[in-house]
């Protein structure tokens, strides 16, 4: 019996930690509601002793409603600050992928190819839609092709001042997406003058095939800002263009333009994964199910290998 009680207590505290931001905001909304209701009842009680015009009552209630809404919005802002800047999502017991494979045909046997937010593992927001195979430094290859490295919440220590600076440079930080329990290792965006509409990609270091590095990638284009659940709380996040194939084709054209000797071809690995994902969760993107393979033989040999410290 004692074991059951302690198990129940642990479950409750675990849920509270998971939903603490949502719970705190709910308390603020509830408090604001009762504050306004109390003021309304107070005005009603004065009606029998004092004659109040409708406009006077509206001004009184409106003023306190403004205070109530302001308090809730302040609490929302505080929670967003705590969630992204003070207590961002961390890499819990993070172990990098480090597969050694003889053929790229082994890749779909070792990964689901679908990415998700940690708090919603059955909502597949983006697919792995390209693979980089190269002996060169992946960061050098991308920077040479016009891509800019993004900082990431949780891995980079980002202050509010730093965040504002990045916004001014149109390179806001990127949140984590997870692939088989692993957050991305690198994030890049294509040079853009808009923080709302930008093409960006995330990279996961997969391992080696001989002397070549293998990077799994997910590329998409932001189209607007929207409220999405992040760490179980509605937060302002980028909403991506649902047809992710458009961004995949942009990457293919971009890489072949800067590395004409690169080899680019497609494989239908994603089709089966999308079918499985529809059965087991929610596919939130559109694609023809083809995955782009990019073999880039040339580039500065490199510094950014499987050792994650050299990649950051």
Instruction: Tell whether 186 and 118 lie within a shared domain.
Output: yes
Residue ending a domain, among 86, 115, 138, is 86
Q: Supply the DSSP symbol for 103.
A: S
What residues make up the domain containing 19?
2-86
Cβ proximity of 189 and 217 under 8 Å: no
Query: Could you give the CA distance from residue 99 to residue 41 in angstroms, rounded to a whole number?
Result: 67
* 206 domain residue, yes or no: yes
Query: Could you give the CA distance from residue 220 to residue 239 in angstroms, rounded to a whole number?
Result: 10
Residue in this structure with the two tokens 């073999």, named with its chain if needed = 295
Instruction: Tell whether 228 and 79 lie within a shared domain.
Output: no
* 285 domain residue, yes or no: yes
Query: What percent of the chain is helix, strand and coil (3-state, nearest 5)?
Result: 40, 30, 30
Three-class secondary structure of residue 255 per DSSP:
helix
* 43 domain residue, yes or no: yes
Residue ending a domain, among 86, 111, 137, is 86
Per residue in 69-112, pLDDT (tens digit) is 888 899 888 888 888 888 777 665 667 788 999 999 999 999 99
Instruction: Tell whether 266 and 175 lie within a shared domain.
Output: yes
Angle of helix 2-18 relative to helix 20-46, nearest 10 degrees? 80
The pTM (predicted TM-score) of the whole model is 0.79
Instruction: Tell whether 132 and 172 lie within a shared domain.
Output: yes
Instruction: Tell whether 193 and 77 lie within a shared domain.
Output: no
Query: Could you give the CA distance from residue 18 to residue 191 in angstroms, rounded to a whole number?
Result: 36
Instruction: Tell whether 109 and 62 lie within a shared domain.
Output: no
Per residue in 222-242, pLDDT (tens digit) is 887 777 777 777 887 778 889
Per residue in 258-295, pLDDT (tens digit) is 999 999 999 999 988 888 766 667 888 999 999 999 99
Instruction: Tell whether 191 and 289 lie within a shared domain.
Output: yes
Query: Could you give the CA distance from residue 206 to residue 34 in angstroms, rounded to a whole number?
Result: 53
* 163 domain residue, yes or no: yes
Total domains present in the chain: 2
* 93 domain residue, yes or no: no
Instruction: Tell whether 136 and 56 lie within a shared domain.
Output: no
| Interval 43-71 mean pLDDT | 76
């Amino acid at each position: 019996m004692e074991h059951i009680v302690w198990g129940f207590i642990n479950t409750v505290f675990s849920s509270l930690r998971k939903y603490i931001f949502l719970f705190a905001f709910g308390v603020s909304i509830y408090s604001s509601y009762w504050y306004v209701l109390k003021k309304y009842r107070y005005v009603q009680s004065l009606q029998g002793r004092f004659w109040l015009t409708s406009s006077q009552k509206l001004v009184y209630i409106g003023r306190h409603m403004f205070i109530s809404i302001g308090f809730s919005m302040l609490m929302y802002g505080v929670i967003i600050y705590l969630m992204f800047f003070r207590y961002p999502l961390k890499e819990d017991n993070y172990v990098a992928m480090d597969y050694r494979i003889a053929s790229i045909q082994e890749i779909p046997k070792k990964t689901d190819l679908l990415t998700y937010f940690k708090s919603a593992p059955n909502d597949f927001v983006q697919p792995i839609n390209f693979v980089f195979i190269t002996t060169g430094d992946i960061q050098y290859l991308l920077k040479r092709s016009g891509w800019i490295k993004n900082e990431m919440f949780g891995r980079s220590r980002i202050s509010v001042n730093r965040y504002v600076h990045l916004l001014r440079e149109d390179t806001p930080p990127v949140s984590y997406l997870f692939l088989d329990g692993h957050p991305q290792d690198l994030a890049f965006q294509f040079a853009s003058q808009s923080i709302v509409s930008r093409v960006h990609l995330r990279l996961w270091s997969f391992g080696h095939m001989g002397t070549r590095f293998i990077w799994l990638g997910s590329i998409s284009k932001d189209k607007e800002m929207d409220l999405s659940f992040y760490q179980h709380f509605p937060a302002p996040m980028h909403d991506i263009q649902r047809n992710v194939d458009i961004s995949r084709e942009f990457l293919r054209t971009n890489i072949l333009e800067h590395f004409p000797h690169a080899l680019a071809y497609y494989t239908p690995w994603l089709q089966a994964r999308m079918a499985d994902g529809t059965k087991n969760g929610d596919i939130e993107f559109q694609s023809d199910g083809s995955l782009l393979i990019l073999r880039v033989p040339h580039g500065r040999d490199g510094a950014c290998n499987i050792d994650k410290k050299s990649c950051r």
